[in-house]
A = this chain, B = another copy of it.
Amino acid sequence: MLKRYLPILEWAKIYDRNMLSSDLIAALIVTIMLIPQSLAYALLAGLPAEVGLYASILPLIAYTVFGTSRTLAVGPVAVVSLMTAAAVGNIAQQGTDAYVLAAITLAFISGVILILMGVFRLGLLANFLSHPVISGFISASAIIIAASQLKHIFGVEVSGHNLLDILLGLSKQPEHINIPTLIIGISAITFLFCSRTYLKTILLRMGVKARLADIITKTGPVLVVIITILATWIGDLENQGVKVIGDIPQGLPSLALPQFDAEIWQQLFISALLISIVGFVESVSVAQTLAAKRRQRISPDQELIGLGASNIASSVSGGFPVTGGFSRSVVNFEAGAETPAAGAFTAAGIALVTLFLTPLIFFLPKATLAATIIVAVLSLVDLAALKRTWIYSRKDFSAMLVTLIMTLLQGVEIGIIAGVGLSIFLHLYRTSTPHSALVGRVPGTEHFRNIDRHKVDTQKHMLTLRIDESLYFANARYLEDRIYALVSLNPAVKHLILMCPAVNLIDASALESLEAINARLKDSGVTFHLSEVKGPVMDKLKRSHFLNDLTGQVFLSQYDAWQALRNTAGTASLDV
């Protein structure tokens, strides 16, 4: 029990000096990478920069204790930060204390939801986010995020959480563009794009090892941060209108509790649920990818608890919602992290930065952070997925497209709800007309095949319908319609056999339909039989009255049914 909820107990006892040194090195690299990220994502969420740092200390320690992935690095991430901005923006004004407090409360609610999902093993909820919905949602979010950061690149003021609002806002004020800011922004973007695309190749040619080259490439933003800080400081660009991070309160966050206001909780609940699920899905997928590379295992239910604990830790230390981040986890993994202790060391690193180094980033231009965000998120945009999905399945494509468009135009929450709703609808629609076939006997064998595809024996007075899907509410009435149509089109029929080799489930609606079919066929003078019913399905049927009322029999095999009923018409004939 204790071990289930405290995975740290498993690896802490085998922790040794080698692991320590690997973890320390990984933590150092992740810390360097996390500084600009945490500042940038706080900016994206509309929060003061220090909130990003706070969200990168205690949550990491909580994950070290409760998380099951050896290499996942938690903290603020782009999509969750955008969702935070959208949720909190509904109930408070950016820049106010109420806004910060709402973000802190959101992290707390999200933490509670995640822990409850973990305790009640409701990780399955994440399954309702189909891949096309996630893909469309991430692409759209990335586009919105990139667009929302353009204001920092141009040095203008714009608000809004969907693409239209943002672009409209930008288009209105070309005269306010600040040229030094634009220069910093464009240079930073260009540098980051080039380093991402070419730096690794160059480093490899210079003889740097592949893994090290990877890490250097991914920590590129730190270089941009340093250069632009120096440029702003030396060039006194702040006085030319370049907006900088400015004063950040030095010192660790003080522990505090979020708002316990029923109304605020109610207003934030749906947002917190969506953030929890989206964050969990992203985090688990990263964790599983990395775990598989070392044949390790993660436990999705315990991951919920780990992420929940991280969010509560974030909340009580003045942070905002966090989850496992993709790029920093990959860096952590590639830098050689062996246990979650690397996360705790990273937390210590960020704590040191918060304590001593914040004066150094006074001159960090917001445009630089915006540039790192834009370059990071644009790699998440995968419009080619639309084409791939179109080729594979039109239904999945439409779910992806609707999610993408609704997210772009109506914002993250409506986008994701519309996508989930549509994919559930399409799934039910797809299974509501299950595959079924009239079958006949392959001459001389005990096999039965589709009469439309094979030369098989049939008899005028008996019809056998094989159904290739579980029977449940979405297809129960289809089955009724199909059978009534068959019987009214074949007046000579005296026996109807439903062959169920692929039926894994008969729910109460389908049971009701089978009862109706039995009663109505009885009224039309047709006997109703079943064949090849699976064991568990049969066990359940025995708990109902259906088998008592059934006019016919339940045959173990279709061949038994054929044998028993073939001569009931008096003459055995060969027709279709």
A-to-B contact residues, CB < 8 Å = 124, 126-132, 284-285, 288-289, 291-297, 300, 388-389, 391-393, 395-397, 400, 423-424, 427-435, 468-470, 472-478, 480-481, 484-485, 487-488, 491, 502, 504-505, 507-509, 511-513, 516, 519-521, 523-524, 540, 543-545
Contacts and interface: CB of A to CB of B under 8 A. Distances in A.
21 contacts: A124-B429, A124-B432, A127-B477, A129-B473, A130-B472, A131-B476, A131-B511, A284-B477, A285-B516, A288-B516, A289-B520, A295-B487, A297-B484, A300-B477, A392-B508, A392-B540, A393-B540, A395-B507, A424-B428, A427-B473, A431-B505
A396 B476 CA distance: 14
Given A127-B432, A292-B524, 8 more contacts: A127-B475, A131-B476, A293-B523, A300-B477, A397-B508, A424-B424, A427-B507, A430-B505
A308 B202 CA distance: 70
A182 to B, nearest CB: 39
Given A124-B429, A468-B504, A295 B491 contact: yes
Nearest to A515: B131
Nearest to A284: B477
Contacts of A434: 504
State the copy count for this chain.
Answer: 2
B469 A504 contact: yes
Given A392-B543, A488-B295, A540-B393, A130 B523 contact: no
B509 A131 contact: yes
B391 A544 contact: yes
A474 B433 contact: no
Question: Which of A473, A475, A512 has its CB near the most chain B CB atoms (within 10 A)?
Answer: A473
A474 B128 contact: yes
Given A131-B508, A392-B508, A396-B507, A520 B484 contact: no
A300 B521 CA distance: 18
A416 to B, nearest CB: 14
A356 B549 CA distance: 50
Contact of A124 (B391, B392, B433): B433
Contacts of A508: 130-132, 389, 392-393, 396-397, 400
Given A288-B484, A293-B520, A433-B124, A393 B130 contact: no
Contact of A392 (B388, B396, B544): B544
B296 A488 contact: yes
A424 B487 CA distance: 31
A480 B543 CA distance: 34
Contacts of A481: 300
